[in-house]
Amino acid sequence: LLMHRNGQWEWTRAPGVSPSPRYQHAAVFVGARLHVTGGVLRGGRGVEGEAAIAVLDTAAGVWLDRNGLVTSSRTSKGHTEHDPSLELMRRCRHAAASVGVRIYIYGGLRGDVLLDDFLIAENSPLQSDINSPILTSERASTVTSPRTNHSNLSSYNSTPTLDGKPETPPSGGMSMDKNSMEKLAEASAAEAEAASAVWQAVQAASAAPAEETSVSDDNSQVAETNSEGSDTEADVRLHPRAVVVAKEVVGNLGGMVRQLSLDQFENESRRMIPLHNDLSYPTKRFTRQKSPQGLHKKIISVLLRPRNWKAPANRRFFLDSYEVGELCYAAEQIFMHEPTVLQLKAPVKVFGDLHGQFGDLMRLFDEYGFPSTAGDITYIDYLFLGDYVDRGQHSLETITLLLALKIEYPENVHLIRGNHEAADINALFGFRLECIERMGENDGIWAWTRFNQLFNYLPLAALIEKKIICMHGGIGRSIHSVEQIEKLDRPITMDAGSIILMDLLWSDPTENDSVEGLRPNARGPGLVTFGPDRVTDFCKKNKLQLIIRAHECVMDGFERFAQGQLITLFSATNYCGTANNAGAILVVGRGLVVVPKLIHPLPPPLQSPETSPERTNSY
């Protein structure tokens, strides 16, 4: 921010080449030097090595670096191993302040480890000493922590803190970060294996013609009736600012809400997906009885508590198998009479993957309104894009509340199917096990089977004002018109749905806008990613202006693709307990202006009811 001679202020780009892109970092001034510490990169990986500290000398107009004038944008693992001070700076969401020539840094996160250490460093008094920036040069600074060697420890004890007293050595460690990365890798591998199994089942059960499954013949599948679509009006617009809620709630007040320009969000990579295989599950039909009038109201009264809900210490689920059956029957009767592609009117709130993270659903309801006459259901609809179960600890609460809300507000609450709403997938990724653990083996398997029978009736996509199409996965290789989706008959299983259902629930966009066409998908053989050219072509031929889809974890909770013609939406925060991502919803207003609204992951709890000794010893 520069001040001209006439007294006017103007924002301008900092001189030189800036350090690696990052977010969730800290920045403080000491004199004319701006010190940037820590943060995370694309994909949620922490900034490491020399890149963890970047210093801009605003007087000289250069970025400082121990090896040169430009701060390195790449990490140096070998150097980090020999310099404990650099490893100490591998953190994000920490606090930083400067007093005089000293910089004080406290806390933050390293992976999923909540840090409580206190670091102190001292800036070089010589502004001309360009090759010795703060925190990166041994001559200019001393980073102190009880985790370093004995000489640093003595320096730490002799350095006054903000209150003039020596700090006690903090507790915690860094080993969880490696474990977190391993967990994500295992989840991705399991997902790829499951996707491969599902694809093989589709191939075995489907007699789809060769041209339908051929990547090279995709573009010839479009009906001629949709060839005229280039004259669509640019009515759908993404609002230039996103609504962001603070990470923590203070007292009885909601989180502090602020707005951020979309330019401040990094275009994060988003590959953190899961899944698996077991196509054999009970197929017995259950005796259908009329649902009791008060069951869904009972569920809503117990679970819809956005401000006050807490994870129960007793994991036993409050519904029995009979009530689960009655709930599923009542919701199923509604889904059976709905079209495969829902036709909705704005305004609509759109939710991405929840994956059993019921606490995040309650936070989103608390901050941005919830479906109740005491909330905002009288003037806005709710649309959920699937993946309600698996991975999280509260899949039962998530799916039962959404079904109860569907029964209570059938014209205002809308659910479509995700790829985890299938028995062969949720048998392996947590939902089946949760049902057994929380309801007993016999009742749990019964309830799990009944839920999966219901899932086969879920609609598969939704159109908002005939200009925005919402789906779980994407258009893949085979989907060229909305009519193809509409022609899918329900109830439908994955193995009977052919390539169209697979693409609809499983496909992803390519890595970025520069990768066009169709490419193999890392999820498994037979699956594809589709480029921005496919998105543009699909929207043009179907007279659409936007695709909203879920299915992938994105760091900011939402991510634009194909120059804004597609948005990926993910509502669960800190996916799999390791991704550290934000969660988001999209609010489509009456004027078709789309506003992202975000929540950030909460800090790890010191102790939760599910990790307490009582909980551990009882199971």
> Which residues neighbour 212 within 8 Å (Cβ) at sequence distance 6 or greater?
221, 478, 498, 499
> Which residues neighbour 399 within 8 Å (Cβ) at sequence distance 6 or greater?
388, 389, 451
Q: Which H or E run includes 28?
A: strand 26-30
Burial string for 200-239 (b: 16+ CB within 10 Å, else e) reads: bbbbeebeeeeeebeeeebeeebeeebeeeeeeeeebebb
Instruction: Give the 3-state secondary structure of residue 535.
Output: helix
Helices in 115-268 by DSSP H: which ranges? Answer: 150-158, 175-205, 210-213
CB atoms within 10 A of CB 480: 20
Entry field: residues in the chain: 619
Whole-angstrom distance, CA of residue 83 vs CA of residue 88: 9
Taking each continuous run of H as one helix and of E as one strand, the counts in the chain are 16, 26
Whole-angstrom distance, CA of residue 557 vs CA of residue 552: 10
Whole-angstrom distance, CA of residue 49 vs CA of residue 135: 11
Out of 296, 420, 480, 551, the active site residue is 420
Half-sphere exposure (Cβ direction) of 133: Cα atoms closer than 13 Å: 28
Residue pair 533/520 in contact by the 8 Å Cβ criterion: no
Whole-angstrom distance, CA of residue 67 vs CA of residue 47: 18
Residue pair 116/172 in contact by the 8 Å Cβ criterion: yes
Instruction: Give the 3-state secondary structure of residue 324.
Output: helix
User: Hey, what are 264's tokens?
Assistant: 């401040």
CB atoms within 10 A of CB 574: 21
Q: φ, ψ for residue 301 (rounded to 5)? A: -65, -30
Whole-angstrom distance, CA of residue 135 vs CA of residue 127: 15
SS3 content of the chain, % helix, strand, coil (to 5): 30, 20, 50
Residue pair 587/347 in contact by the 8 Å Cβ criterion: yes
Sheet of 113-122: strand order equals: 95-99, 102-110, 113-122
> Which residues neighbour 220 within 8 Å (Cβ) at sequence distance 6 or greater?
211
DSSP-derived secondary structure letter, 43: G
Whole-angstrom distance, CA of residue 595 vs CA of residue 503: 27
Catalytic residue status for 4: no
Catalytic residues: 420
